[in-house]
Amino acid sequence: MIRAGIVGGTGYTGVELLRLLASHADVEVVAITSRAEAGRRVDDLYPNLRGIYDLIFAEPDAALLAGCDVVFFATPHNVAMHTVPELLAAGTRVIDLSADYRIRDAALWSRWYGEPHASPELLERAVYGLPEVHREKIRDAQLLSCPGCYPTAIQLGWLPLLAAGKVDPGSLIASAASGASGAGRQAKIDNLLTEISGSFKAYGVGGHRHLPEIEQGLAEATTESVAVTFVPHLLPMVRGIHATLFARLREPAEGLQALFEEYYAGEPFVDVLPAGVFPQTRTVKGANRCQLSINVPQGRDTVVVLSTIDNLVKGASGQAVQCLNIMFGLPETRGLQQVGLLP
Amino acid sequence: MIRAGIVGGTGYTGVELLRLLASHADVEVVAITSRAEAGRRVDDLYPNLRGIYDLIFAEPDAALLAGCDVVFFATPHNVAMHTVPELLAAGTRVIDLSADYRIRDAALWSRWYGEPHASPELLERAVYGLPEVHREKIRDAQLLSCPGCYPTAIQLGWLPLLAAGKVDPGSLIASAASGASGAGRQAKIDNLLTEISGSFKAYGVGGHRHLPEIEQGLAEATTESVAVTFVPHLLPMVRGIHATLFARLREPAEGLQALFEEYYAGEPFVDVLPAGVFPQTRTVKGANRCQLSINVPQGRDTVVVLSTIDNLVKGASGQAVQCLNIMFGLPETRGLQQVGLLP
Amino acid sequence: MIRAGIVGGTGYTGVELLRLLASHADVEVVAITSRAEAGRRVDDLYPNLRGIYDLIFAEPDAALLAGCDVVFFATPHNVAMHTVPELLAAGTRVIDLSADYRIRDAALWSRWYGEPHASPELLERAVYGLPEVHREKIRDAQLLSCPGCYPTAIQLGWLPLLAAGKVDPGSLIASAASGASGAGRQAKIDNLLTEISGSFKAYGVGGHRHLPEIEQGLAEATTESVAVTFVPHLLPMVRGIHATLFARLREPAEGLQALFEEYYAGEPFVDVLPAGVFPQTRTVKGANRCQLSINVPQGRDTVVVLSTIDNLVKGASGQAVQCLNIMFGLPETRGLQQVGLLP
Amino acid sequence: MIRAGIVGGTGYTGVELLRLLASHADVEVVAITSRAEAGRRVDDLYPNLRGIYDLIFAEPDAALLAGCDVVFFATPHNVAMHTVPELLAAGTRVIDLSADYRIRDAALWSRWYGEPHASPELLERAVYGLPEVHREKIRDAQLLSCPGCYPTAIQLGWLPLLAAGKVDPGSLIASAASGASGAGRQAKIDNLLTEISGSFKAYGVGGHRHLPEIEQGLAEATTESVAVTFVPHLLPMVRGIHATLFARLREPAEGLQALFEEYYAGEPFVDVLPAGVFPQTRTVKGANRCQLSINVPQGRDTVVVLSTIDNLVKGASGQAVQCLNIMFGLPETRGLQQVGLLP
């Protein structure tokens, strides 16, 4: 039995880890921390977990966490980077769901996250946890950095095209939208139901923190220069990311459907939809799955890829568990066979 | 392996049965029927099931269904009653999620459902599938009639009080609310997002079909006459039932919390919340669970019980699977350990 | 032109006052205050007001406000009671949308609002602004206390029955539900879209601050003792209150529809729906209107009144403008003829 | 007083016309038709209109309509084109909110709308009712064709850039999203709350009927060839369109904010937001307004324009009333000063 700890367990990726791990045969959650809720029963905060866990939030404590085989950081950014070095030194493997180790260039990281990186020496060691790309490296990762939600949906949508050289990587356009759970469980007026229900808006148009991560990931798939125009939007709903990806084709489109089906053949969590079927976020709700659709409207020169995930599952906690399975030599689908909740 | 069939598989209780049974170790769905969608892949209609089932909707066919060990009817009312006799005669056990066998009095049934009952002789044989009340009878049931969604939430909320004689059964008041999935997957203007999103209303105030079922169930718990004023409301959301139940106390309230905790001790799917914690439908979303809260506002003479379920799970398909487990001698929780999807 | 000021203009009742007064021919908003947003343009915070107002939030300042003919307090409770005495002394009329002057008994007020009342001497002078009951007193009010949202919907629903002695006032039951805007524009986790969207719950079951106000108002309509069991619920939507009101009839119901129609004959903002038509919150969205439906389910001994308002309009800012019209001798409907926004 | 008739008054653009015209000083609605609801009171179908209109749905009747000064067609496409010639012949002016006269090329129209055009001779006479472009022609229009909702938001967003030659018109990309009211009030499973609430999807990716209309409108602003990749999406909400428009800049971006502000100077219903403020659909909800934001992310070579309207107002009925005002020589803002309903 793998003994797991969760740091920052009060947020939505924390409770989602608990939901997923409840059906995982090989993992036991032995510690969960929260400064704000220390001493409170987990199922008092999250009554959906009553009868399932007998956990109490603890103060973050290095010794407690070092006693785990693996520790998930479900914290906001700029937290994990202070604690991870100590845990790694103690031999505990770390799966960081935050942004702290996603960008390999410390200066670039600082520019987007607003302060110097606290453990830049680990950036090279951190493995980027997108299994469809880095499965082999993930096996041996001591420090696993989970991709962001938008970057997961967007990279999975473009990688086959870039790898095959089908599109111009210098003028990529991503119009994406996220449910409000992407903003986390924070007491901000901007996230009130009264502020966002029944409405839709773009945000971060001038520059969203996921942009450098997306460009870094895509750049690995091509030798050409990559430039993405990325506009995220906020959806009046809880879960789900939908990315609408535009790229200019280099030659008349042929065989793109087959290209995607081959690229993702054997991938348990990437589902290339039949031609003409468009994904909906609801069909992946609660499931660790990316559904993709490839289109060339009017047969013109622009390919449109639609990519959907549940931001809390394939975009965060599910992907983290998928990586854990790989890291610990378990079947990759262990604990991840939840069916999307529809309707 | 129990071979199961589903009649009327295109509706929401049908797809929910498929979702739940996907994680049930002892049941295989071998047949699913739909007149309208015969020939279509199930996962084409419900892409959340891609990769999970390899089923195709079939025309309803008695021979096909008679080859099953058990057949679920996930049909609208007034359908099952025509086909069930034949299946029972063939030795197939039936779990009917519709209203056809819920009311034991055929004349009463006709009054509420608008036509003569097609197999009234079965009304006495049908077992009412509320495990918390009829667990023993369910074991041997050939024809199992699943309770309605409102009746499940409401009976579970009042039964301990009635059984203990704590309240006056002659003036019960139930103000309940349901998500829109309770109305099924029917092309009606009244169920459009544009008609019900961002709004709330009562309906069926003059008389809802679940009223006689509720009164019938409650009457079994007391020797006194039962009368319920039942007002259902429509919530601008998909899943969930919340019942707010008012009853007049016969004597100053004492020990009601303990009364409920004892009454439901050992019940795997009824969760009496700690005093002062109010249930939310979201904490039972996707889970086969009823959460209850007992209150006596201002210490006056009215007890208020709050009861929540997911109408598609404990209010329909989950309860059906729970009954199947009992009928086939399996652990009652088999296939039903999904954690509520929160947020 | 009536010169109006608004204190606490950043909240939802503040912006709603601005929306309504934009079409009011006789009122000019000359001052709007907010400590937090002082110096910011109003239409920067609320871009729906661009081009309509040229206002800037100011620090609360007694001299500024005393220069107005009337000042609205759109503040949380426990604010107005500190400032109102000074304004009244300066001859400015006050319309308080908060709870500070709703309860005439200062000790009772303190029990529910948690601190001593700062200007208890004004409680007797304050006029309770429910025009359908107190129209004459409102004309001369210097200090007008606007009713709460639940109390407005609930009193309008029960008053005709109590006034006519048709029901037992000692066992009234109100099951009511509100959109999230009733909780105001406050950065609380409980009000996040991710916490309340797609869910429904009761709250304040042990005792909600609107209870004493409701009982006080109803008590004026009868010589008997009044007791209300009041359970509020939170709806996953922005605007609207729906109250489902249960009362025991003293004699077989007859003429209740006519009773209501007569009671509210000539009232511009109370609409008794035809028998059998149930109100929806969406038909009063954005409108200063209460829609009522009277029902006696099954012809039994319980009358069910359904009452809907928009909590921000007839439940707050619209009612405030209605009172202003009466106070200043204007036609009562001036500036209040917005049609409900449907769909 | 202008005597107006409405054909197809049961749909959402019909009830929205009634809402807007209720506050229009110069228009009286004297006839409203509906085959399905003939004989029913309008306010029985739409209780938000109780006390405001005393209208009854009538059978469509040429004589009835010919007695009007102006007739609005709030019908689905392929209806107006059969009746309009007769009305024009009778001297009645027509404002068609449907798609029947939007495309000037009858063959192109047929390809997208699936049948031969019934009155192709009128296509040239029809004036395209986008006042910001065709104000002069609108004055004298006998047959006014209201733009589609997407085309309104998209053209207003791109026209200043195209007119100034700032971008390449051959590779325009529009990622747009609409509330569900855009699909009308039709009993289709796809539009049920249970199918679209809490979810997001693209649709019509292969080709949406608004595409030729968009390209036709944009082509008027440039001598170059126009090609648009247009992907519409469905939002889980009622009202609102948000268009995210991408175009490649021809030269380094400078002065784009000023370009837009000048282009729309004096336009009463186009609001160029300050730099860095992103529009939300809620700030135009219920209002006849387009809000625009101009951005050049990362200072690269792609300009991103954000454009929002209420699809039922500036995208349909409000624009229709705006055109009526121009056609009848009234102030353009008459009856259109509703403030956006926020929250």
Q: Of B175, B225, B237, which to mutate for an interface test with C (greatest number of C Cβ within 10 Å)?
A: B175
Estimate the crossing angle of helix A149-163 against helix A256-263, to 10 degrees.
120
Mean per-residue pLDDT over chain A, rounded: 97
Q: What is the CATH number of the domain that holds D211?
A: 3.30.360.10
Model confidence pLDDT, tens digit, residues C206-247: 999 999 999 999 999 999 999 999 999 999 999 999 999 999
Q: Which residues 85-144 of chain D have a CB within 8 Å of chain A? A: none
| B205, B237, B302 ranked by CB distance to C199: nearest | B237
Does residue C144 belong to any structural domain of this protein? Answer: no
Does residue A205 belong to any structural domain of this protein? Answer: yes
Model confidence pLDDT, tens digit, residues B56-114: 999 999 899 999 999 999 999 999 999 999 999 999 999 999 999 999 999 999 999 99
D286 plus D167 within the same structural domain: yes
Model confidence pLDDT, tens digit, residues B219-268: 999 999 999 999 999 999 999 999 999 999 998 888 999 999 999 999 99
| Residue C52 in this model has a pLDDT that exceeds 90 | yes
| Alpha-carbon gap: A269 to the closest alpha carbon of chain B (Å) | 10
Residue A173 in tokens: 């356009």
Beta bridge partners of B58: B33
Residue D249 in tokens: 């800049």
Model confidence pLDDT, tens digit, residues D8-32: 989 999 999 999 999 999 999 999 9
Average confidence (pLDDT) over A239-249: 98
Whether C149 is catalytic is: yes
Which member of C68, C146, C149, C290 is catalytic? C149
| Residue A91 in this model has a pLDDT that exceeds 90 | yes
Residue of A nearest to D202 (CA): A278
Model confidence pLDDT, tens digit, residues D108-146: 999 999 999 999 999 999 999 999 999 999 999 999 999
- Taking an 8 Å cut-off on Cβ atoms, the answer to whether A22 and B339 are in contact is yes
Distance CA A180, CA A198 (A): 12
| Residue C258 in this model has a pLDDT that exceeds 90 | yes
| A200, A295, A298 ranked by CB distance to D235: nearest | A200
D154 plus D299 within the same structural domain: yes
For β-strands A290-295 and A228-234, DSSP reports them as unpaired
Q: Determine the pLDDT at residue B252.
A: 85
For D164-196, where are the alpha helices, taking DSSP H only? 193-196
Helix (H, G, I), strand (E, B) or coil at D282: helix
Residue B47, preceding peptide bond in cis (omega within 30° of 0):
no
Residue D316 near residue D152, CB atoms below 8 Å? no
Residue B150 near residue B178, CB atoms below 8 Å? yes
Average confidence (pLDDT) over D322-332: 98
Q: Determine the pLDDT at residue D253.
A: 81
Which of D108, D125, D142 terminates a domain? The answer is D125
D175 plus D294 within the same structural domain: yes
For chain A, say whether B283 makes contact (Cβ under 8 Å): yes
Distance CA A193, CA A199 (A): 10
Does residue A323 belong to any structural domain of this protein? Answer: no
| A206, A240, A297 ranked by CB distance to D297: nearest | A206
| Residue A141 in this model has a pLDDT that exceeds 90 | yes
Does residue D329 belong to any structural domain of this protein? Answer: no
| Alpha-carbon gap: D205 to the closest alpha carbon of chain A (Å) | 6
Model confidence pLDDT, tens digit, residues D26-66: 999 999 999 999 999 999 999 999 999 999 999 999 899 99
Residue B172 near residue B243, CB atoms below 8 Å? no
pTM over 0.90, yes/no? yes
Q: In what order do the strands lie in the sheet with D143-145?
A: D27-33, D2-7, D70-73, D93-96, D143-145, D127-128
Q: CA B48 → CA A53, B20, B42, C177, distances in Å?
A: 28, 12, 10, 33
Model confidence pLDDT, tens digit, residues A46-61: 999 999 999 999 999 9
Beta bridge partners of D176: D232, D243
C119 plus C155 within the same structural domain: no
Distance CA C147, CA D268 (A): 38
B157 plus B32 within the same structural domain: no
B107 plus B157 within the same structural domain: no
Q: Determine the pLDDT at residue A136.
A: 98
Does residue D134 belong to any structural domain of this protein? Answer: no
C192 plus C304 within the same structural domain: yes
Residue A245 near residue A154, CB atoms below 8 Å? yes
Average confidence (pLDDT) over A110-125: 97
C175 plus C241 within the same structural domain: yes
For chain B, say whether C238 makes contact (Cβ under 8 Å): yes
Q: Determine the pLDDT at residue D252.
A: 85
Query: Which chains neighbour B (Cβ–Cβ under 8 Å, 3 or more pairs)?
Result: A, C, D
Question: Quick one: pLDDT band at residue A43, thresholds 50, 70, 90?
Answer: very high
Cα–Cα nearest to A117, from A98, A134, A132, A136: A98
A268 plus A304 within the same structural domain: yes
Does residue B320 belong to any structural domain of this protein? Answer: no
For chain D, say whether B189 makes contact (Cβ under 8 Å): yes
**Cβ–Cβ contacts within 10 Å for residue D185, how many?**
17
For chain D, say whether A293 makes contact (Cβ under 8 Å): yes
Residue with tokens 């009747």: D61
Q: Determine the pLDDT at residue C253.
A: 81
Does residue C198 belong to any structural domain of this protein? Answer: yes
D113 plus D155 within the same structural domain: no
The alpha carbon of residue B276 and the mean position of all alpha carbons in its chain are separated, in whole angstroms, by 27
Q: How many domains does chain A have?
A: 2
| Residue A203 in this model has a pLDDT that exceeds 90 | yes
For chain D, say whether C229 makes contact (Cβ under 8 Å): no
| Residue B151 in this model has a pLDDT that exceeds 90 | yes
C162 plus C120 within the same structural domain: no
Q: Of A150, A154, A175, A195, which to mutate for an interface test with D (greatest number of D Cβ within 10 Å)?
A: A175
Q: What is the CATH number of the domain that holds C14?
A: 3.40.50.720
Give chain D's count of helices (H) and strands (E): 11, 13
Q: Determine the pLDDT at residue A54.
A: 97
The alpha carbon of residue C275 and the mean position of all alpha carbons in its chain are separated, in whole angstroms, by 26
| B187, B194, B238 ranked by CB distance to D180: nearest | B194
| Residue C252 in this model has a pLDDT that exceeds 90 | no
Q: CA A307 → CA A96, A146, A277, A301, B107, distances in Å?
A: 24, 18, 12, 19, 54
Does residue D113 belong to any structural domain of this protein? Answer: yes
- Percentage of chain D with pLDDT > 90? 98
D307 plus D159 within the same structural domain: yes
- Residues spanned by the domain of A283: 150-311
Q: Determine the pLDDT at residue A292.
A: 98
